[in-house]
Structure 1
Amino acid sequence: MLVRRRHPALLASATVIATTVALATAGVLIADAANAAAGCRVDYSVGGQWQGGFTANVTVTNLGDPVSAWTLRWSYGAGQQVSSAWNATVTQSGSQVTATNLGYNGGVGTNGTVSFGFNGSWTASNPTPTNFTLNGVACTGIVPSTPPTSPTTPGNPTDYPPTPSPTPTGPPTAGPPTTGPTPGPQTLVGWAAQNGGTVGGGSTPATTVSTASALTTAVGATSSAVIRVSGAISCSGMLRVRSNKTIIGNPGATIVGCGFTISGDRNVIIRNLTFRDWSDDAINVQESATNIWIDHNTLSHGYDGAVDIKRGSDFVTVSWNHFFNHDKTMLLGHSDDNGAQDIGHLRVTYHHNWFDGTTQRHPRVRFGNPVHVYNNYYFNNSGYGVASTMSAGVLVEGNYFDHVNDPYHLGEADSGPGSLVARNNYFVSSGSGQAGGSVAGIPYLYPLDSASTVKAVVTAGAGAGRITL
């Protein structure tokens, strides 16, 4: 089943206030091609709201000719104020708000998207703005055909209006599913495919490394690179991985004793590696790192986290990995007092992972919303499956829980509860789980396997050595 989720934001206050605004410019984008008929769609949603504050997410779809730079403007009608932003420069003068691209996300092709978000404040009310302009042209809700004087045509026929949740505490809802190709196990799906996507080193010619010193140098270089790991490499500590890297293991490639840290960098892919006996974390993503894809790895027998994501990192997909003989598997958000950096970030997709006798944190989530946990296989986890804490919003969907007494719950240790929506999961000799609250909508297409088939699908495909090189 192929599902497309838009942005119906379901708030912790149990009041649904998000509105998806479908817009199209009637005029000319001020961009590379003058006189080009152009259109756009803007999806604005409130991902979370609390007394005096809120988080907003904005996605712009370019329905016209490609642009190399963009400026989006709108006005607030109730005195809202923007305080901080990510993936765009956002300024405000009075009620007028201006968002401009950063250096890496100015180019938006036809039917391409760009997303950004921000934190803000409100007083009496927080209505959704509707008066967007893109590059100085008012958005009107139609896309003009060519020539401009001919009748207009509607936008993308697969677009649909948001469907509100039937109850304030119910699961996120969406319009009818769109059709399209079902991604295979080697296709990037989820949050790492947003925000311009994740391509790692791209088509850069590959370099093969087989020693710790060569691996350290290759992953730490500032240039784009595709790095193939050969054999077993013993190392210690954490190796810094810089932006625009693909690190992929040849058959049997193993990292012993050390781990990778991605700190403030972006566009990194880690695939087809076996990690064991790490002395800190196996993979650590931190300090606002973005667009990271961790896929088809095998991880076991380590000291601390197998895959930890924290400190404002965003747009991450963790897919088709096999975890076994380990305790603290995956932490999302490192501490309860880091909300200023984490709120509005920590958006991660976890899918088709095999949690094989591991103890806890599959994942343990703080602040991130929405976090998407779908089609994973949980087997004999002695602690718990998923924990949603510190106002996080987690959608737990289509997973297979096999001999797991505590599949998911709200709050953990000293951390207060978040929200968790559970739907279409499959239970074998397992507890029922604890859910509650509401979660922001999922904005991307994803293939959803029937939960009852997940055990067979995941055990046949997860882990290193299961992809074609």
Structure 2
Amino acid sequence: MKSKFVPWAISTAMCLTGLSANSQCAVVGWASENGGVTGGGTATPVIVTNYTDLKAAITSTSVKVVHVSGTITIPSGGRISFQDQSDKTIFGLPGAKLVSTDLTTSNSGIIYVKRCTNVVFRNLTLEGPGAYDTDGWDNMTLDNCANVWVDHCEFQDGLDGNFDIKNMSDYISVTWCKFIYNKAPIPDGPGGSDDHRFSDLFGSGDGATTDRGHLRVTLQNCWWAQGCVARMPRVRFGKVHVANNLFNSTVAAQCVMAGFEADLLVESNVFENVKKPIDKMDNTYTAITARDNVFTNTTGNTTGSGTAFTPPYTLTITPVANVKAAVMAGAGATLTEDCLGVLDITGTRDGSTRLGDEPAANRISIYPNPAKGKAIIAVTLKKNEQAVIRVYDANGRLVDNLPVVTAFTAGTQKVPYSLAGKAPGIYNVFVTTGKGVQSTYKLVVQ
């Protein structure tokens, strides 16, 4: 995948099997502009397994990488306010889910992100209580944020919506995400709609004119799946690039919705069994360019009008014939345990030292591999350089934190690692040097 700025390239073997891993592991689109996105970079992750620790890690400015493990229920009124931070990654280990069951106006919702920059969300499932028109909270909202990458997340059953972007938020990329309503809508809400399965709203109102010049969002390889009725997304003011997405909810009444002053580039998407694939609404949009889309068993408008913006970035567009299979296989929280969000970073937000620029000295080997009983972790370091070695199991749990390795003379330091008591399986060995460069290696225990 080509982009003007690719700050987060994870090695192809580490992320996904049977899919184009590079294309699923690099930030693309609008979030690659304006300095790009690196999140928390190579900071040592904090692993959280309960609500108290999750809230503390997200709200702490000193924590830069959060790994979420297991299912965590958000208590009534416990919506997490993530505000005024920068340079942070929140990554879901395989199976990680944040769940809210509250149906009230004030106590609902999972996470509200406000005035944050350079943030990454990856591999999380956020499950709400089901659609209920009570003017409550979404599963997640970005409010006045910049340079945010939301990747491989699944948004389910949001109360008011699944995921909204508003209030001058800008330079946002949403890739390989899935939006779905598994639960039946709850009728008789005070807002008047008996079926409020409205997934995504970009821009909160026609009168929010401060959004002009903002709300630049790229949506690529996303899936609006069964149960979504409308707002996929509904856009006001923004320059939104909708590319290589799948829309196939049989209850869809409107898919891409061009609201007030919306400027939309809609290309190489697949629309199946939906109504109004491209909804021109009240014809108050700025422009819609629609090209190379596929419409199967659809009714309603499929055409654009006017000429939309030209993206300043380069985006590799998948041929539309291949979009459905790729999206259905890869969208959602589908990353494996090896793709922990800090692997093989080849760039930095400020252009400083990169892993790819490091000399070959910062490399390790593990042998024998597979191993039984004992393995040797060989770390090649410069004089006086140090390395920290941590070992995680396949579920992302820390199982060993080895003593700090110090090279009093340059060369290879051999660290014996006992496998006594280790269950057979795959383990991930994290090595962090004194420069903060982090690499991950796979160890197979027999």
Taking structure 2 as the reference length, what is the TM-score of the superposition?
0.62
* Match status 1:353 vs 2:222: yes
For the aligned residue pairs, the C-alpha RMSD in angstroms reads: 2.2
Secondary structure of the 1:192 match is: helix
Once the 2 structures are TM-superposed, how far is the Cα of residue 280 of structure 1 from its aligned partner? Answer: 1.8
Once the 2 structures are TM-superposed, how far is the Cα of residue 223 of structure 1 from its aligned partner? Answer: 2.7
Counterpart for residue 338 of structure 1: 208
Once the 2 structures are TM-superposed, how far is the Cα of residue 224 of structure 1 from its aligned partner? Answer: 4.9
* Match status 1:426 vs 2:298: no
User: Per-residue CA shift, 1:324-347, capped at 9, x if unaligned?
Assistant: 1171111110011011x1000000
1:329 and 1:361 in contact (8 A); partners too: yes
1:260 to 91, 108, 111: 111
1:416 maps to amino acid: T
Alignment of 1:299-318 (within 5 A): 299-318=155-174
Aligned residues: 290
1:276 to 127, 133, 143: 127
Once the 2 structures are TM-superposed, how far is the Cα of residue 183 of structure 1 from its aligned partner? Answer: 4.6
Counterpart for residue 417 of structure 1: 285
2:72 and 2:98 in contact (8 A); partners too: yes
1:293 to 119, 125, 149: 149
Once the 2 structures are TM-superposed, how far is the Cα of residue 429 of structure 1 from its aligned partner? Answer: 0.9
Counterpart for residue 79 of structure 2: 238
1:332 and 1:346 in contact (8 A); partners too: yes
Q: In structure 1, what is the Cα distance between the partners aligned to 2:316 and 2:204?
A: 30
Alignment of 1:129-278 (within 5 A): 183-236=22-75, 237-241=78-82, 242-257=85-100, 258-277=109-128
1:3 and 1:448 in contact (8 A); partners too: no
User: Per-residue CA shift, 1:240-265, capped at 9, x if unaligned?
Assistant: 22322111111111100142211111
Q: In structure 1, what is the Cα distance between the partners aligned to 2:114 and 2:206?
A: 20
CA gap of 1:182–1:465, structure 2 versus 1, over 3 A, is: closer
Counterpart for residue 394 of structure 1: 264
Q: In structure 1, what is the Cα distance between the partners aligned to 2:60 and 2:335?
A: 28
CA gap of 1:303–1:182, structure 2 versus 1, over 3 A, is: closer
Counterpart for residue 253 of structure 2: 383
Alignment of 1:60-139 (within 5 A): none
1:225 and 1:245 in contact (8 A); partners too: yes
Once the 2 structures are TM-superposed, how far is the Cα of residue 3 of structure 1 from its aligned partner? Answer: 8.0
* Match status 1:462 vs 2:331: yes
Q: In structure 2, what is the Cα distance between the partners aligned to 1:451 and 1:466?
A: 23
Q: In structure 2, what is the Cα distance between the partners aligned to 1:217 and 1:250?
A: 18
Q: In structure 2, what is the Cα distance between the partners aligned to 1:202 and 1:379?
A: 36
2:167 and 2:203 in contact (8 A); partners too: yes
Q: In structure 2, what is the Cα distance between the partners aligned to 1:350 and 1:112?
A: 17
Secondary structure of the 2:74 match is: strand
Secondary structure of the 2:305 match is: coil
Once the 2 structures are TM-superposed, how far is the Cα of residue 303 of structure 1 from its aligned partner? Answer: 0.2
CA gap of 1:250–1:337, structure 2 versus 1, over 3 A, is: same
2:88 and 2:119 in contact (8 A); partners too: yes
* Match status 1:408 vs 2:278: yes
CA gap of 1:182–1:294, structure 2 versus 1, over 3 A, is: closer
CA gap of 1:295–1:112, structure 2 versus 1, over 3 A, is: closer
Once the 2 structures are TM-superposed, how far is the Cα of residue 283 of structure 1 from its aligned partner? Answer: 1.4
Gaps of 5+ in 1: 5-110, 114-180
* Match status 1:438 vs 2:295: no
2:158 and 2:199 in contact (8 A); partners too: no
Secondary structure of the 1:445 match is: coil
Q: In structure 1, what is the Cα distance between the partners aligned to 2:319 and 2:268?
A: 7
CA gap of 1:3–1:204, structure 2 versus 1, over 3 A, is: closer
1:284 and 1:307 in contact (8 A); partners too: yes
Q: In structure 2, what is the Cα distance between the partners aligned to 1:306 and 1:409?
A: 20
Counterpart for residue 449 of structure 1: 318
Q: In structure 2, what is the Cα distance between the partners aligned to 1:430 and 1:302?
A: 26
Gaps of 5+ in 2: 7-19, 101-108, 130-135, 183-196, 341-446
Once the 2 structures are TM-superposed, how far is the Cα of residue 349 of structure 1 from its aligned partner? Answer: 0.2
User: Per-residue CA shift, 1:363-406, capped at 9, x if unaligned?
Assistant: 1000012x100000000252111011211100000001111121
Q: In structure 1, what is the Cα distance between the partners aligned to 2:115 and 2:30?
A: 17
User: Per-residue CA shift, 1:80-111, capped at 9, x if unaligned?
Assistant: xxxxxxxxxxxxxxxxxxxxxxxxxxxxxxx9
Once the 2 structures are TM-superposed, how far is the Cα of residue 182 of structure 1 from its aligned partner? Answer: 9.9
Once the 2 structures are TM-superposed, how far is the Cα of residue 417 of structure 1 from its aligned partner? Answer: 3.3
CA gap of 1:182–1:220, structure 2 versus 1, over 3 A, is: closer
2:89 maps to amino acid: T
Instruction: Say which is worse superposed, 191-200 or 325-334, in terms of deviation.
Output: 325-334
User: Per-residue CA shift, 1:309-364, capped at 9, x if unaligned?
Assistant: 0000000011101111171111110011011x100000000010111121111110
2:178 to 303, 316, 322: 322
Q: In structure 2, what is the Cα distance between the partners aligned to 1:303 and 1:193?
A: 31
